[in-house]
Amino acid sequence: MGYKIVVVGATGNVGHEMLNILAEREFPVDEIAALASRRSLGTEVSFGEKTLKCQDLDTFDFTGWDIALFAVGSDATKKYAPIAAKAGCVVIDNSSLYRYDPDVPLVVPEVNAAAVDGYTKKNIIANPNCSTAQMVVALKPLHDRARIKRVVVSTYQSVSGSGKEAMDELWNQTKGMFVPGQEVAPSVYPKQIAFNVIPHIDVFLDDGSTKEEWKMVAETKKIMDPAIKLTATCVRVPVFVGHSESINIEFEDFLDEEEARDILREAPGILVVDKREAGGYITPIECVGEYATYISRIRQDSTIDNGLNIWCVSDNLRKGAALNAVQIAEVLGQRCLKKG
């Protein structure tokens, strides 16, 4: 016997990937429903070899359904997730709404799978921010070996993290640069994104950081270890899919780069591609459609006693969102629901 699964926000980028990954990983599905807003009622989406017609989220009855994967914004989640949870359907939420709620587990299965057990408090599990998810996959095995004291991370985040309109803006601005009279002014972003980088993701906070940077700090502490000090600079770059991160790590104990490379090679969810030659590293265009978090450029930081630098790349629509949600569903099934 398998599961009855609901995908909420099935017409969006992340919802589309959730359906793809459920099919690719052969998740034990007995029945599946694709939900969207009323304006998308009847829109067809793919689930493996099947075609599903989107149902209206506003009138859907979650009673009798096992798991709902939510890929909608915080406002819609705030309205509908409690309805699903109260009906007995476990919500796995991709928005930021519940990530910092102490009664809601925030889970990256390669890092803290056992935290799933806490879902019973609200019948909700939170998916972390895309930039946090890939980073903690890389940090956890190193932390287990040498205890991380401090992390300095700079992110290079693709426009798909802002949704389809942002991808369209990059595409149209890029084309418009070459056709006089077809220039496209910034709309999704505060400045031109084509041929540019923008050191601003989400809103600014009083201390000068952005909310995206704050999320990485708060989520890393909740998922891994509250003692870890982390500072982040998050940058939007003109890449369609795939987030990259330059991560500087300071440990309590010395960790040799060769041992670090071996640890990462054995760690779940990671592929190491690290040749010290032209092209001997992974870039975002090569990670699209892949499950793995890729690690390259592993090297000692000689400016501190116990430091390493790494380059981390992953498909943000997959490990940063949809894949992590499906992996949470898999762990939930194995540890708690025990069907399929």
Contacts of 277 (CB under 8 A, 6+ apart): none
Q: Is 195 helix (H, G, I), strand (E, B) or coil?
A: coil
Length of the chain: 340
Q: Which of 16, 143, 234, 243 is catalytic?
A: 243
Q: Minimal CA–CA distance to 239: which of 326, 152, 315?
A: 315
Q: Is residue 130 flagged as an active site residue?
A: yes
Strands (E), the chain: 3-8, 29-36, 44-47, 50-53, 55-56, 67-70, 90-93, 124-126, 148-157, 229-236, 243-251, 270-272, 293-301, 307-314
Helices (H), the chain: 13-24, 74-86, 109-112, 130-146, 164-176, 211-223, 257-266, 284-287, 323-332
Q: Is residue 243 flagged as an active site residue?
A: yes
Task: Specify the residue for token string 């592993």.
Answer: 298
Tokens of 36: 């969207």
C-alpha 326/C-alpha 255 separation (Å) is 33
Q: Which of 16, 54, 89, 130 is catalytic?
A: 130
- The radius of gyration computed from the CA coordinates of the chain, to the nearest angstrom, equals 20
C-alpha 30/C-alpha 142 separation (Å) is 39
Active-site residues: which are they? Answer: 130, 243
